[in-house]
Amino acid sequence: MAVDGLLGEALRNHQAGRLAEAQRLYRQVLEAEPENADGLHLMGQLARQIGRPDLAIELISRAVAIGDTVPRFHAGLGAALKEVGRLDEAAAAYRKAVDLAPDDDESLHGLANVLQMAGRLAEAVPVYRRALVLRPDAADVHNNLGNALIDLGQAEEAVAAYRRAIALAPEMAEAHNNLGTALRETGHAEEALACYDRAIALRPDYAQAFSNQGNALAELGRMDEAIAAHRRAIDLRPDFAPGLNNLGAAMHQAGRQDEAVPVLRRSLELAPDAAAAWCGLGVALKDIGRPDEGLAAVRRAIALEPDNAIAHDNQAHLLMDLGLVGEAEAAFRRAIALAPDQIEAYSGLLMALNFRAGVAPQTIFAEARRFAAQLELLAPSPTFVNSRAPDRRLRIGYVSGDFRRHPVGYFLTPVLRCHDPAAVECFCYDNALRPDEVTTRLQGLGHHWRAIARMPDAEAATLIAADGIDILVDLSGHTAANRLRLFARKPAPVQVTWLGYWGTTGLSAIDYLLADAATPVPADEAWYSERIMRLPGGRFCYEPPEYAPSPPAAPPQSRLGRTTFGSFNNLAKLGPDAIELWAAILRAVPEACLLLKWKTLNDPAARQLLLDRFSAAGVAAERLELRGPSMHPRMLEEYGDIDIALDPFPFSGGLTSCEALWMGVPVVTLVGATPPARQTAAFLEALGLDDLIADTPDRYVAIAVALAADSGRIERLRAELRPRMAASPLCQAKAFTRNLEDAYRRMWKAWCASAA
């Protein structure tokens, strides 16, 4: 048979899927004519089909050398090069094909796909659009255009591309799945679910669609269903690393961190270069009290992606958990430098600065204003329809992610219970993902409750306006789970920050900061973007839990024959200066020991790090007792093991100091000029214990040492502190709440007057 006949017969077999016969005939062609360009090209295409892209490149390259002006040869070479990841060479081959045949939509589509794979998305999009001009009914091109657009962050345009693909090919499961992802990106998780359902109906073994369905369900807070969807994806594809990562993330979000960690580890066994999975593992380890392992995981993510701002932010939070505040500050700054618009790192930086000694208030203010600038550029101009009657019943909105087992939840409980319903109507906007029994108790106090954790800022702002809120109160500041983005939109006429944070938010949209009589000092008010409204009697109201045990009649000193100092504060508060002073106290009271308790102290590495820091200050490990977390009733009970509580600085205790005092444990504090440095001092002043407040480091040591030597006073305070607290302004919930309502009324009248 002539060569042309052999080639035709080979091609017919090839097209019919009889690859072995086609391969035999192509070989006969090339034996007869080794330089037959069509034979080389077609044999190369067959080599691609049987999994030999290396051979395909060799054969098609020979065809190109012979027939350099044949567009399909260059396109075939581009396809083969793409399969082995030589994307720049593949793009060049496809470009040559397009130059030779500008109206060949298949070559244009191939070029666009290679550009997209290479991350050259801005180049890929116009090539896809050129291909669609030539063949507007190409559903696969519309789908791939959508993929490029979604990767460029143009989700709305991607939605339109996917919808067009589906209109042209309603049975294309991939397009339904992709449309769901684009809809999630634009905040339409419910609609996305319908798309995933359709994709799964079309392809019941579509693991990616089940995993995406799980992501959408998680965004809607339907965590059990989300986990079930992710499990289905893994049942279909046990080696599906992204699906395992999504399952681990859903377990973490549902509070099932102990289950999440092994799942995330399995995903990383399959895909060890997945930086996002290393980050997820690091955060899950952090949340189960293993910060050292978590830090190692996040640092692996940074090694893989040095410019990953989220990884640097996660690293900073883990360093804070380990008490390494200086290193955390540097990590927060790196995250901000990499992504100035990712504002969460600014809040972390501000927290770190407040934990460090010697940071001037103007420095903190400057960073807070840098944070605010990211939000205020795009903030809408507010308009209000609230009645300006100055004496009418006010609608107060409280916004927090901490209506739960948290200092904010505990401090706010008596206020919500004691609000005068004739004066105010309260709305709680809950930003917590995982409510607990405190949440349930707060919900039972009869106020309006709104869950906004999964609600976009614009939608939450619309809800607040529809509720007619007059005064919106931020209870988080720059702490975790804040909604400062929402406050920047100014959804209420008067906005206030209080309780959860102690300093300026930096936002011009927040009008007032509620403070106590002493802090901030008047000279520092210039370093606040808010006006200072001072509450008589302090900025906290403490209500002890019903389950708080009675203090033991005798302090541990009387039964052990030695003094036990202690602190249950965040390790991030234990800076070098605090450790040095506590070491000086232990040196001055040589028989004494120090009991420290914090959530990370079950982690051997965290324990050793703390022991090493005290060892460097001259305190042997046997003089320290380190305890990890426990349930709140048990934690209160453990104050019975302490004679004297040492307050950290420059960030003193808040709820921690109140709980120590309620449990009969005197607290020695070193007062400073900043609000967090004066919290415990305000409590002690309210109890008439000014002599436990030091104004210099030397005085701090002297007070602690003298109190340790006065066993009679320690015993008296053990019996007196609780009744003193109960009678003090600290525990007068009704009086405190009336003062708070008076402050709200003054704010409201000022707004009414300014509006008039």
589-613, pLDDT tens digit by residue?
999 999 999 999 999 999 999 999 9
The pLDDT-based confidence of 53 (bands split at 50, 70, 90) is confident
Per-residue pLDDT tens digits for 639-677:
999 999 999 999 999 999 999 999 999 999 999 888 889
The angle subtended at Cα 15 by Cα 11 and Cα 16, nearest 5°, is 115
Count of beta carbons in the 10 Å neighbourhood of residue 208: 21
Q: Do you find a cis peptide bond into 556, omega within 30 degrees of 0?
A: no
Work out how many domains the chain is built from and give that number: 4
743 and 713: one domain? Answer: no
Tokens at residue 166, please?
């589906």
* Cis? peptide before 520, omega within 30° of 0: yes
Compute the Cα dihedral for 394, 655, 637, 409 and give only its sign.
Answer: positive
Let me know: does 450 contact 427? Beta carbons within 8 Å.
Answer: yes
Please indicate, yes or no, if residue 567 is contained in any of the structural domains.
yes
The answer to whether residue 756 scores a pLDDT higher than 60 is no
Give the torsion through C-alpha atoms of 524, 407, 441, 477, to 10 deg: 40
**Which residue(s) pair with 428 in the sheet?**
398, 449
Q: What is the DSSP letter of 525?
A: G
| Residue of 432, 402, 593, 581 whose CA lies nearest to 499 | 402
Residues contacting 85, CB < 8 A, separation 6+: none
**How far apart are alpha carbons 152 and 122 in whole angstroms?**
8
> Is residue 40 within 8 Å of residue 52, measured between CB atoms?
no
CATH number at residue 500: 3.40.50.11380
**Same domain, yes or no: 292 and 160:** no
Helix axes 309-321, 344-355, angle to 10 degrees: 30
pLDDT recorded at residue 751: 97
Residue 755: pLDDT above 80? Answer: no
257 falls within a domain: no
- From residue 221, give the alpha-carbon distance in Å to each of 142, 191, 415, 446: 32, 15, 29, 24
State whether residue 397 is helix, strand or coil.
strand
Contact indicator for 652, 678 with CB cutoff of 8 Å: yes
> Above pLDDT 90, what percent of the chain?
82
Residues 427 and 445: beta-carbon distance below 8 Å:
no
Q: Are residues 344 and 364 in the same domain?
A: no
Residue 214, pLDDT score? 97
Cα dihedral value 351, 354, 662, 737, nearest 10: -80
Query: Do 560 and 705 share a domain, yes or no?
Result: yes
Whether residue 560 sits in one domain with residue 454: no
Q: Residue 664: enclosing H or E segment and its boundaries?
A: none
- pLDDT score for 738: 97
- Mapped to the 3 state alphabet, what secondary structure does 655-672 carry? HHHHHHHHCCCCEEEECC
User: Are residues 399 and 532 part of one domain?
Assistant: yes
Using omega within 30 degrees of 0 as the cis cutoff, is the peptide bond preceding 648 cis? Answer: no
Residue-wise pLDDT tens digits, 201-242: 999 999 999 999 999 999 998 999 999 999 999 999 999 999
Average pLDDT (710-724) is: 96
What are the tens digits of pLDDT across the range 487-519?
Answer: 999 999 999 999 999 899 999 999 999 999 888
The label of the residue with tokens 């699906």 reads 243
Q: Are residues 295 and 189 in the same domain?
A: no
**What pLDDT shows up at residue 49?**
87
Per-residue confidence (pLDDT) for residue 306, from 0 to 100? 97
Locate the DSSP E strands across 39-81. none
State pLDDT tens for residues 148-189: 999 999 999 999 999 999 999 999 999 999 999 999 999 899
Band the pLDDT of 5: cuts 50, 70, 90.
confident
CA 401 to chain centre: 12
Rounded Cα–Cα distance for residues 238 and 691 (Å): 65
User: Are 463 and 571 in a shared domain?
Assistant: no
Residues 6+ apart with CB under 8 A from 563: 557, 589, 591, 592, 593, 643, 644, 708
Is pLDDT at 376 greater than 90 in this prediction? no
Length of the chain: 756
Average pLDDT over residues 324-336: 96
Task: From 152, 186, 220, give the residue that closes a domain.
Answer: 220
Residue of 524, 551, 546 whose CA lies nearest to 675? 524
Whether 239 maps to a domain, the answer reads no
For residues 40 and 165, membership in a common domain is answered with yes
Are 328 and 354 within 8 A, CB to CB?
Answer: no
Strand order in the sheet with 531-534: 448-451, 424-430, 394-400, 471-474, 494-497, 512-515, 531-534
Report d(CA 122, CA 91) in Å as an integer.
14
Supply angle C-alpha 718, 724, 729, rounded to 5: 145
Integer-rounded Cα radius of gyration of the chain = 33
Q: Identify how many contiguous H helices and E strands the chain contains and give both numbers.
A: 35, 13
User: Is residue 498 located within the same domain as residue 572?
Assistant: no
Q: At 461, is the secondary structure helix, strand, or coil?
A: helix
Quote the percentage of the chain above a pLDDT of 70: 100
Give the range of the structural domain holding residue 331, as residue numbers without chain letter: 278-359
- At residue 393 the predicted structure's pLDDT band, cuts being 50, 70 and 90, is very high
- End-to-end Cα, the chain, rounded Å: 100
512-515/531-534 β-pairing = parallel
Q: What is the mean pLDDT of the chain?
A: 94
Print burial letters for 593-604: b (CB count within 10 Å at least 16), e (below 16). bbbbbbbbbebe
Highest mean pLDDT among 21-25, 75-79, 728-732: 728-732
Residues 6+ apart with CB under 8 A from 36: 3, 7, 29, 30
Q: Which of 304, 338, 359 is the last residue of a domain?
A: 359
Q: What pLDDT score does 357 carry?
A: 86
| 268 in any annotated domain | no
Q: Are residues 711 and 752 in the same domain?
A: no
Residue 418 counted as domain residue: yes
Which whole number is the average pLDDT over 694-698? Answer: 97
Tokens of 479: 């702490």
Distance CA 647, CA 544 (A): 20
* pLDDT of amino acid 2: 81
Q: How confident is the model at residue 708 (pLDDT cuts 50, 70, 90)?
A: very high
**Residue 103 belongs to a domain with what CATH number?**
1.25.40.10
Q: Which pLDDT score, from 0 to 100, does residue 171 have?
A: 97
381 pLDDT exceeds 60?
Answer: yes
| 273 inside domain | no
Single pTM value for the model? 0.86
Q: Are residues 334 and 375 both part of a single domain? A: no
Helix, strand, coil percentages for the chain (3-state, nearest 5): 60, 5, 30
Residue 16, C-beta contacts closer than 8 angstroms, at least 6 positions apart: none
- Specify the CATH number for the domain of residue 666: 3.40.50.2000
295, 322 Cβ separation under 8 angstroms: yes
